[in-house]
Chains A and B, each alone.
Chain A
Amino acid sequence: MREALLTAKGVVKNSPGTQEPVLDHIDLAIYTGDFTVIMGPSGAGKSTLLYALSGMDAISSGQIFFKERELRSFSEKKMAALRASEFGFVFQQTCLVSNLTLFENVAVAGYLEKDQSEKEVRQRAESLLARMHVEKAKDRLPSQTSGGEAQRAAMARAMINQPGLLFADEPTGALNRKNSEEVLDLLTSLNREGQSILMVTHDVKAAIRGTRILYLEDGKILDEIALPPFDAQTAKDREGKVNAWLTALSW
């Protein structure tokens, strides 16, 4: 039996203004080793669900568990520690700290991990940046790099503390096709190595990288589909299968 990393039970999130539900009684489990993708039209509540599951955003009712513990029982400090050690984030916009170099952006996240020495963090940051093919730009500030470089650095940063779960919110949303492919390849490769990923996207080409796709509409999960691990050779068939599934869901 697979281990559930995150479990949502009856999660409701109301819009702060209108009090209309953005998430409507969501029941969901995110498993170790999965590359879970949440799809859905704009305004479906995809990102809201992602941030609710990561504890970045408060929910109106229901429960979310990380492994065995409910997120609401975590103090602010413990929640921060959880984000530092167990969660990694990659955002749609390049969310790097503007006055830190790419290398520093990665290393700073690593410095929060108490068990690692500064030297170990720096070595790991160097190797992650090399793996993400941005070692040449590592000493540049985010404003001096391309969107692709910055997003790959953001992925390196998300991976610095070897998180249990990587949250990716439309990671290719602001990238061109070439950079998007590179980022998706990296995510796929990380997942192959056992990294659990939860990604939000509305792009089918990105979604087919997942092993499990959930369809969200009007704050409810309408359906899900399971896929074998991604293989570039079968990408076309995989895309067709997902498109057919989405069409059946009136996508």
Chain B
Amino acid sequence: MAYRSILVKEAGLFMEIKTLLKANLKSHRGTALGICILILLVSLSLGTVLTVWNNSIRYVNSEMDRLHYGDITAWVSGLPDATPLAEEIAALESVDSVGVQSLIFSEYEIGAQESDSEGQLITYDPQRYSYKFFADGLSGYRDAPAQIQPGEIYVPASMVSMFGIQSGDSIIFPIARSGRDMTFTVAGFYEDPFMGSTMIGMKGFLICEQDHEKIAEVIEAAGLDGLAREGFMLHITQSGELTAAQLNALLNGSTSLQSYTEFTHSKDAISGFMLTLQNVFTSLLLAFVAILLLASVAVLSHSIGSTIGQDTVNMGIMKTIGFTGNRLRRIQLLQYLLLTLFGMAAGMLLSIPVSSVVCRMTVTTTGLLIPSVLPAGVCLSVLAAILLLFMAFVWLRTRKIARISPMEAIRKRRSQTEKRVVAPVRKRGLSFWLALRQLLTGKRRYVGACLVAMLLVFFASLMGRVDDWLGPNGEGLMDAFNPADLHIAAQPMGETGMEDVEQTIEGYTVITDAYDLAMPSVSVNGVDMTANVITQPERFHLLSGQTCREADEVVLTEFVAADLGVSVGDTVTVAGALGGGEYVVSGIYQCANDMGMNIGMNREGYNRIGEDSPTMWCTHYFLADPSLQPEIMQALSDTYGGDVYLHENSWPGLYGILSAMRMLMVFLYTMVFLFVLVATLLTAEKCLRAERKDLTIYCALGFSFGRLRRSFALRFGIIALFGSILGTILSAFLTDPLTAVLMRLEGISNFSSHPGIITILLPGMVVTVLFLLFAYLCAGKIRKVPRTSLFEE
């Protein structure tokens, strides 16, 4: 019997909760829908970002493992057969295995576009390196070909965005001078988890063994006229637990590897290069989701406050019939829990197709078809944490319910204290003054809208500043990557004299200055990295200390200094092809190449340890009229073709970043649009409900619908403007330190935004106008407020 009475009691409790929940949701369905939509948008964004972020990291690493790329890969050349070197390395106790891939280094040309970095023609060997091949449309895979036909080539999918290449297009590889080129037809696209991203300049191409041999014969026959060269990739897997730097130092110290190395990259570094774009943008998106989350909390807070305000009488009545404050709070908690859960579930479900679309859309920039399977564990954990925070917030925010006195609530004698307001009401600009008065007397109602405006403007402004720093053509990023500024750079590949090149340039505009830069490989304290050797060391982008003017001085990036544990004034050992030497660190400079793993030195300094060859120098020119740069580049290309390697302050991967940035801005402003819409709808609905009587009075006094509507919208305009100003100020102070943290991950240590006036004002203006517009639209409901509500028959 006792058990039965408990059951009956429980069933009764369930019924009463169900009844109250239904009533609450029905009377506040607009609010419920709005909150649901906000949570849905947050969950949708979060689910998508987490999917891309989590899956891309896992996928790149798993693919590199599947293809046996090892812990370190060394690109070597100058040896006819890599097997003896591979055996020498494999004999080391710390090395588990060494895989060898044959390749040919060569520049390439697609249509009128020349490559910025060397390409690597890799011999296709499906038994040992089973690459994945994309089906047409790049939205899935097809079976890997058993063999590649002579004359055919497979290219990474990122070349679609870098060069606009399609199947059937031709790629020309200048193998040797006098027109001894090899032309390949693109047979399709393959997934390269190693060099496939637009962020990596060097690109791998798959060709058949017959073509490889044919090219090798041309190179051999060309002798000194050879432009391409044979080489190998050595994928070294260690057996111990050494760091990449330790393994690299061990290999350089114990084997002859260093004599043949062109460059070396660890698995982590390659993974970092591959995921640079995803990491930067998913970090920004995650930050944005956090902002959206805060904005949702602001809206939720306002919603709870106004709902309690509206339902005070009902809650008083409920208390008179025996409901306790805590029980009423639990019902509120349950109501918001259901809304949040529903929004989250819908958002997560929607994020599955959205992630799939995003993963497909990014194939041409990442070079990878990132799996779009929702990482359920990660997503559920994050959502559970958010849910807990939300519920804790709701519980705290509803504590006012416990203080509601039943009789006072029923008599509507709320203990609110009316405050005197100092702002006047003037005849001129009456709508504005009335809007201001409403705002000042109903501040709490608008706090949510103000916070939403502030948070959205802050993030939009932050992104605007990053976009401004990036520049329309990515100049900001290029300046961060380049050790020194330039307009045009030219490097002789044969016997072309630079005097001829300069003459061609001066046919267009005056050369105001020039310096030479070479980028040989060196080892610093045993670790391989690139040296930026310059003839005018004062041109380095110096961050601290002094530049390397003396022959025994070098400058390091912040990352190298941190990695080696040295600072300005310390000494490092730099080794090149001719030996090693001690160098004093004279300063810290900025160059994000190789994720910041490089050093800078002057020509005299390099000559102490390396061989100075005329072809290693690239001359960087400054033009009196930089706007003529495209024409000059075209003229130089037409005149010298493959004999002069040309480049400008750009690289094809930049367009991947720029297009991703544009997509991010579109996403950001879409979210801003939706959030402002929902926040305005929620706040406006509550305001209209609360001000029903006042609106009718104004109407009776002779205020037209249009004037009331304008005045109503103005309030939102004023509050959004206030929030926008706060957001803009906040972004002015926080953009640089916050973005700098993110940029440091990519080797950029001197991020500093200098936005133009439009960039500063635009986000605030957009958000204010959106609030104003949506509030104006919502205020259309004023027409529906019955003017007879002031009388009772």
Contacts and interface: CB of A to CB of B under 8 A. Distances in A.
A13 to B, nearest CB: 10
Interface string A72-116: 000011001111110101011101111110001001110110000
B418 A143 contact: yes
A76 B791 CA distance: 21
A224 interface: no
A57 interface: yes
Given A47-B792, A118-B428, A141-B418, A96 B701 contact: no
B790 A108 contact: no
Given A56-B788, A100-B425, A47 B793 contact: yes
A81 B430 contact: no
Interface string B539-554: 0000000000000000
A168 to B, nearest CB: 11
B7 interface: no
A127 interface: no
Nearest to A87: B702
A170 B421 CA distance: 31
B700 interface: yes
Contact of A80 (B418, B438, B702, B793): B702
A83 B791 contact: no
Nearest to A111: B427
Interface in A43-72: 43-48, 50-51, 56-57
A56 B438 contact: no
Given A47-B793, A77-B706, A57 B700 contact: no
A66 B438 CA distance: 34
A14 to B, nearest CB: 14
A121 interface: yes
B418 A144 contact: yes
Given A80-B703, A107-B425, A143-B418, A97 B698 contact: yes
Interface in B673-714: 693-694, 696-707
B787 interface: yes
B634 interface: no
B791 A47 contact: yes
Given A47-B793, A95-B693, A99-B421, A81 B788 contact: no
Given A95-B697, A97-B694, A99-B437, A43 B702 contact: no
Nearest to B439: A99
B702 A95 contact: no
Nearest to A22: B793
The residue among B421, B434, B699, B700 with the most chain A CB atoms within 10 A of its own CB is B700
A209 interface: no
Given A56-B788, A118-B428, A112 B793 contact: no
Contacts of A189: none
Given A99-B421, A99-B437, A91 B701 contact: no
Nearest to B698: A97
B441 interface: yes
Contact of A118 (B427, B441, B442): B427
A42 B701 contact: no
B426 interface: yes
A34 interface: no
A89 B700 contact: yes
B782 to A, nearest CB: 11
B704 A76 contact: yes
Interface string B392-414: 00000000000000000000000
A157 interface: yes
Contacts of A42: 793
Contacts, number: 104
B704 A121 contact: no
A119 B558 CA distance: 69
A52 B693 CA distance: 19
B428 to A, nearest CB: 7
A85 B418 CA distance: 31
A169 interface: yes
B788 A51 contact: yes
A51 B791 contact: yes
Contact of A95 (B418, B427, B700, B704): B700
Interface residues of A, number: 47
Contacts of A95: 693, 696-697, 700, 790
A62 B458 CA distance: 58
Contacts of B694: 97-99
A43 B793 CA distance: 5
A91 B702 contact: no
Interface string A121-140: 10000000000000000000
Contacts of A51: 787-788, 791
Nearest to B707: A80
B702 A109 contact: yes
Nearest to B783: A76
A111 B427 CA distance: 5
B427 A121 contact: yes
A159 B697 CA distance: 15
Nearest to A157: B701
Contact of B793 (A45, A77, A141, A161): A45
A112 B703 contact: yes
B510 to A, nearest CB: 67
A57 B702 CA distance: 14
B442 A99 contact: yes
Contacts of A118: 426-428
Contacts of A107: 425
Given A100-B425, A111-B430, A118-B428, A84 B793 contact: no
Contacts of A84: 701-703
Given A97-B694, A111-B430, A85 B702 contact: yes
Contacts of B703: 80, 84, 112
A101 to B, nearest CB: 8
Nearest to B694: A97
A50 B791 CA distance: 10
A217 to B, nearest CB: 13
The residue among B420, B707, B788 with the most chain A CB atoms within 10 A of its own CB is B788
B700 A83 contact: yes
A152 B437 CA distance: 23
A96 B441 contact: no
Contacts of B426: 111, 118
A108 B430 contact: yes
A195 to B, nearest CB: 17
Nearest to A141: B418
Given A77-B706, A111-B427, A143-B418, A92 B792 contact: yes
Nearest to A16: B786
| 4 A-B pairs with the lowest CB-CB distances in the bound complex, closest first | A84-B702, A80-B704, A99-B441, A83-B702
19 contacts: A45-B793, A46-B793, A50-B791, A56-B699, A76-B705, A80-B702, A81-B702, A83-B701, A85-B702, A95-B790, A97-B694, A97-B698, A98-B693, A98-B694, A108-B430, A111-B430, A112-B430, A118-B426, A121-B427
Given A46-B793, A99-B438, A112-B430, 18 more contacts: A22-B793, A43-B793, A47-B791, A48-B788, A50-B791, A56-B788, A80-B707, A81-B702, A91-B791, A92-B792, A99-B441, A107-B425, A111-B425, A111-B430, A112-B702, A118-B427, A141-B418, A144-B418
